[in-house]
Structures are given as C-alpha cells and as structure tokens.
Amino acid sequence: MDALEAWAWYLGGQQPDQYAAPSRAEDLSGLPPAFIDVGTVDLFRDEDIAFAQRLMQAGVPTELHINPGSYHASETFAPEAALSQRIWAMRIDALKRGLA
C-alpha cells in the first residue's frame, strides 16, 4: 500500500477538507491538544514540523518530538531497537496523559 492508496481509502471518494486533513485548515485554533512525533529522516518531517508550528501559533497545546535517525514507521520495522522502544514509550505516555 502506498500513500495515494491509503488516502483514497480514507477519503472514500470525497475530496480532502480540513476535517480529513486538519493541516489544510486556515484557522487551527480550537483544535484539541496534539502530540506529533517524526524522525529526522522521515519523508514527512518538514510538513509535520510545519504543522506543529502552525498549531502552536494558533494556541493549540502541542507536543513535538523529533527522533534522531528515525525514518517513517521505523518503530514498526525495527520494534526491538532502543529508539523504537523510546518512541512507543513517548506515545503511550502521551496517551495516558491525554486520557487521564
């Protein structure tokens, strides 16, 4: 599966809007708190950082983590790696805090 195929499934034949892809919204204020993590060699790194910056500028509580040496989905492909363990621990911690 590639990104275009995933988008097609997600959108179900509809055009993407600010609800399907919040980064397309002009006004991000009022969105819920965000947790964003991305690797330094992830192909989405720059757009993830830009989105996090826009959220922060809009006053949305945002937690951004940039993982040195991590590529897209590295924690899935190398689940036993120390970096993968740290990534999952950060995510689980964020979920626990967000759901508390």
The answer to whether residue 77 sits within a structural domain is yes
pLDDT > 60? residue 91? yes
pLDDT score for 16: 83
pLDDT in tens, 20-67: 888 888 999 999 999 999 999 999 999 999 999 999 999 999 999 999
Global pTM reads 0.84
Q: Which residues contact 7 (CB under 8 A, 6 or more apart)?
A: 16
The answer to whether residue 11 sits within a structural domain is no
pLDDT in tens, 57-73: 999 999 999 999 999 99
The answer to whether residue 17 sits within a structural domain is no
The answer to whether residue 64 sits within a structural domain is yes
The answer to whether residue 14 sits within a structural domain is no
Domain around 53: 37-100
Domain count, the chain: 1
What is the three-class DSSP state of 21? Answer: coil
The answer to whether residue 57 sits within a structural domain is yes
